[in-house]
Amino acid sequence: MATIVRVRGSAYRREGTRMLVRANGTYECALSGGCLEPAVVDAAQHVIRTGEPITATYDLAEDSVWGLGIGCMGAVDIRIERLESDPVFDAWLNLLEHGEAAAFVTVLSGPSGRMLVSPTGNPLGALADPAETRSAVARARERLRDPFARSGPEHIGAIEVFFDISLPPPALVIFGAGYDVEPLAHQAWVLGFAVTIVDVREAYLSRARFPHGTLICAHFTRFAELVPIDSGSFVIVMNHQVERDRESLRWALESPAAYIGVLGPHARFQRLLAALADAGYRPDQAALARVRSPMGLALGAETPDEVAVSVLAEMLAIRRGFEGGFLTGTDRSLHRPDETRLLARS
């Protein structure tokens, strides 16, 4: 397994990106746009034979004497290790398979050691020094609590460790199963969202239309029973029917969802709010601040596929702490948000 553990300057992927290399030289996933992988495979073949892990540095600068000539103007450190079964590693693979939150802590410099830290409970494994173990557990949990949790290296006492952060896939709940939901649900699944589609019309909720989603047939009177919405979830209201949209919006506003997108012009959203007010429900400003109406980025989208791109682009920007917009001419990081504009802290 090859994992990017440090990036200096510009690179195609960030810390925590992994690549699995087999003994025959084939591999799954990638660490770059395809130019870095042959060198990593060569190094991995040596690690597979010897069993000794290494941290290899690849200079991507175009003008570097020892570089790869990729032209990314940066360098990456990649830890390459042979995969062998042990309780800590097996538990980490199990957490990855089930999409659970955890930090896999590996020593990069210093006495070897690794452990698996969950948000609660006792860690599995330990580092060589008990004090460093306690500090690493505390830092791992701080990273897991961060709204924009990221993998990365860090010095703990006299050693350097790498925190490989695993988080559950972001949840997307879509109210409505019309034809324009199909490309949205599919593209969201491709991007790594756990998609749930809710509609009262059972015939619309078919596996042929939504092969990768959780399908819930429910009238809005049963949302409390059948449609839980967790903190951090993304919700989209697009039933194309006023009563269902109104009640879906109400359920979303009453939930701890991080994002509530309402399809259609802003005037329609205002009419939905007026109808809720007539029924005696007036959401507070904190709830309304989570609503995007119209939802999506201003791309001039017209077709359902284009609308899906617009909406998902906005969702990704919010999830990563960015504002969206054009990148051309910018010198700031393409991967890390400006600390002064983190949406979760604004």
Q: What is the pLDDT of residue 126?
A: 93
| pLDDT on residue 337 | 57
- Give the residue among 77, 82, 64, 96 at the shortest CA–CA distance from 31: 77
CA distances from 219 to 170, 226, 243 (A): 24, 10, 11
- Pairing state of beta strands 54-59 and 27-28? unpaired
In the beta sheet, which residues pair with residue 168?
none
In this prediction, residue 189 carries a pLDDT of: 96
Rounded Cα gap, residues 6 and 38, in angstroms: 19
Tokens of 221: 């009177």
Q: What's the average model confidence in pLDDT over 121-133? A: 94
Percent over 70 (pLDDT), the chain: 90
213 token code pair? 């989603």
In angstroms, rounded to a whole number, what is the distance separating the alpha carbons of residues 207 and 92? 31
Taking residues 322-346, report their average pLDDT. 58
Domain 171-320 part of CATH 3.40.50.720 = yes
- Site of tokens 């791309």: 299
Whole-number Å distance between alpha carbons of 278 and 283: 12
Q: At what angle do helices 242-254 and 266-278 cross, to 10 degrees?
A: 80
- Cβ neighbours of residue 245 under 8 Å, at least 6 residues apart? 175, 176, 237, 238, 239, 262, 272
Residue 109: strand, helix, or coil: strand
The pTM (predicted TM-score) of the whole model is 0.80
pLDDT bucket at 147, cuts 50 / 70 / 90: confident
User: Which has the higher per-residue pLDDT, 292 or 109?
Assistant: 292
Tell me the domain boundaries of the chain: 2-80, 87-166, 171-320
| Closest of 87, 226, 77, 220 to residue 160, by C-alpha | 77
* Span of 148-157, 249-258, 300-309 with lowest mean pLDDT: 148-157
Q: Within 13 Å, how many C-alpha atoms sit on residue 31's CB side?
A: 29
Asked if pLDDT for residue 8 goes beyond 90, the answer is no
Task: Average the pLDDT over 246-268 and give the result.
Answer: 96
- Amino acid at position 66, single letter: W
